[in-house]
């Protein structure tokens, strides 16, 4: 429903900026109350939906990429603490040297 509303805005903006209009059959989806209107498919709403889907997909992919890098940094930090800490263990029974 949101894409249908935005479709009207996009079509009006396109008409105002360029003077071009989509063919009647691409302006709105088929309406059973007006079967002879010539409207068959809402191209703008479909394109808006596809673009938003692409943006959300790319955001998910980018988020996974960033999350992987953060996990690697955390693991490197943990390994570094273990390695540095291993050199501070005393073999005589006391755990850590001051």
Residue 59's alpha-carbon distances to 3, 9, 40, 65, in angstroms, are 20, 25, 32, 10
Going from the C-alpha of 80 to that of each of 70, 73, 85, the distances in angstroms are 15, 10, 8
Assess if residue 94 is contained within a domain: no
User: Does 96 fall in a domain?
Assistant: no
Could you list the residue range(s) of the whole structural domain that residue 21 is in?
2-86
Strand partners of residue 89: 96
The answer to whether residue 53 sits within a structural domain is yes
Residue 91 lies in a domain: no
Q: Per the domain annotation, does 93 fall within a domain?
A: no
**Which residues have CB under 8 Å from 11's CB, separation 6+?**
21, 22, 27, 44
What digits encode the pLDDT tens for the residues 4-63? 788 888 888 888 999 888 888 777 776 767 777 777 788 888 888 898 889 888 888 888
Q: What pLDDT score was predicted for residue 80?
A: 96
| Residue 2: predicted pLDDT | 78
Q: Let me know if residue 6 belongs to a domain.
A: yes
For residue 95, is it within any domain? Answer: no
């Amino acid at each position: 429903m949101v894409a249908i509303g935005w479709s009207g805005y996009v079509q009006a903006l396109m008409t105002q900026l360029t003077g071009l209009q989509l063919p009647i059959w691409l302006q709105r989806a088929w309406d059973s109350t007006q079967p002879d209107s010539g409207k068959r498919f809402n191209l703008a709403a479909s394109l808006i939906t596809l673009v938003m889907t692409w943006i959300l997909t790319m955001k998910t992919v980018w988020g996974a990429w960033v999350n992987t890098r953060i996990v690697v940094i955390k693991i490197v930090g943990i390994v570094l603490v273990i390695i540095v800490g291993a050199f501070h263990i005393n073999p005589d029974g006391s755990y850590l040297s001051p």
